[in-house]
Amino acid sequence: MRRLRMFVMSAGALALGLTVLASGCGSSKNDDDTEGGGGKPVIKRDTKPAGELKELAGKDKGTLSGRVSLDGPAPDLMKLNEDLAKQVDAQGDKAICHMGDITQQKWRGSKDGGVKNVYVWLRPPEGVYFKLDESQGKVPEFVELHQPHCNFEPHSIALFPSYYDPATKGQKATGEKLKVYGSPELVHNVHIGSQNRKQSGLNQSIPKPDASGMLNFVVLGDLKPDLMTPVDVSCDIHKWMKATLWVFDNPFYAITDDNGNYKIEGVPTDVPLQVVAWHEDAGWLTQNKNAKGDTATLSKDHKMDFKVPAPK
């Protein structure tokens, strides 16, 4: 009961933290051949060039939606928050840091067990690509990540920088980039890293605003789609600060909300494809505990729920 009450506290008493996200991502390792759901398998790199792929066009467009919920007792959030507070209090900027939300971010959710910040996405079978119409390739210019005090907001983000173009048999850019803002009060460092060497990475300080008061920022426009490995975002100055980024090559992805709900619209129907779900601490959530996910043929209004195993 104590753990359940603490999970409710994270969603209720810490309502600000549910909206204003902070840190909590570890260095997650992922691979298609992963056994188990711990999220920390060994990477095996696919060196085969993409080449020419076959088109996968659904008979219609539909919606994939569902809910992700906790399977088992809630984690001891009080202990997780206490451990995090010790790291903050040992740092010289603690007074400013405590002005923001300094609570754990790996396990957020609702009082009835919904789990926040779970990624759900689609990927085509090997050798094929999703046929997209013009509107599906249009995205905002920037996905923004903020550091208001000593946390990243939001904690979980996704980027869609490119997709397969059959005309060129390569990736076509959408123009979407990652923009990381600094803090109005502190110097931060933003460190972008991935276990997949295809990502160029970034390790750069972001100074406080000058006399104009305008926030400084850095922009990343060269991140590569990777459906096997997340990108870790961290601050080397405030080492508890973590965020998670997945970089996709199609628009069919979602991140669960405060109640564990997700929705992906415009999905191809009546064709076999792969559905993948991932939580930063629990790892892969599909029956096939790997980056390929489970084979499914989606209907016009398809429902699919997932369970997140409680931490031991």
What local confidence, expressed as pLDDT, does residue 28 receive? 39
pLDDT at 6 over 70: no
Give tens-digit pLDDT for 75-84.
999 999 999 9
pLDDT at 308 over 50: yes
The mean pLDDT value for 20-40 works out to 38
Give residue 71's domain range.
Answer: 2-309
Higher pLDDT, 199 or 232: 232
Identify the CA nearest to 278 among candidates 258, 301, 255, 251: 255
Are residues 145 and 202 in contact, defined by beta-carbon separation less than 8 angstroms? no
Q: How far apart are CA 309 and CA 303, in angstroms?
A: 20
Q: Considering all CA atoms of the chain, what is the largest pairwise distance in Å, rounded to the nearest integer?
A: 59
Phi, psi at residue 73, to the nearest 5°? Answer: -70, 145
pTM equals 0.84
What local confidence, expressed as pLDDT, does residue 51 receive? 67
What local confidence, expressed as pLDDT, does residue 20 receive? 32
User: Angle at CA 255, nearest 5°, toward 257 and 305?
Assistant: 80
What local confidence, expressed as pLDDT, does residue 201 receive? 74
pLDDT band of residue 261 (cuts 50, 70, 90) is very high
Higher pLDDT, 47 or 165: 165
Identify the CA nearest to 155 among candidates 147, 164, 163: 147
The mean pLDDT value for 260-287 works out to 97
What local confidence, expressed as pLDDT, does residue 1 receive? 45
Identify the CA nearest to 47 among candidates 244, 194, 228: 228
What local confidence, expressed as pLDDT, does residue 13 receive? 37
Identify the CA nearest to 73 among candidates 37, 38, 122, 107: 107
Percentage of residues of the chain with pLDDT beyond 70: 83
Give tens-digit pLDDT for 162-221.
999 999 999 999 999 999 999 988 998 899 988 776 776 788 899 988 888 899 999 988
Q: What is the 3-state secondary structure (H, E, C) of 25-39?
A: CCCCCCCCCCCCCCC
Read off the tokens for 87. Answer: 């790291």
Range in 114-128, 136-150, 192-206 the model is least confident about? 192-206
> How many domains does the structure of the chain reveal?
1
Task: Report the chain's mean pLDDT, rounded to a whole number.
Answer: 85
Phi, psi at residue 150, to the nearest 5°? Answer: -130, 45
User: Angle at CA 231, nearest 5°, toward 208 and 71?
Assistant: 115
For residues 17, 23, 29 and 34, what is the CA-based torsion angle, rounded to 10 degrees? -20
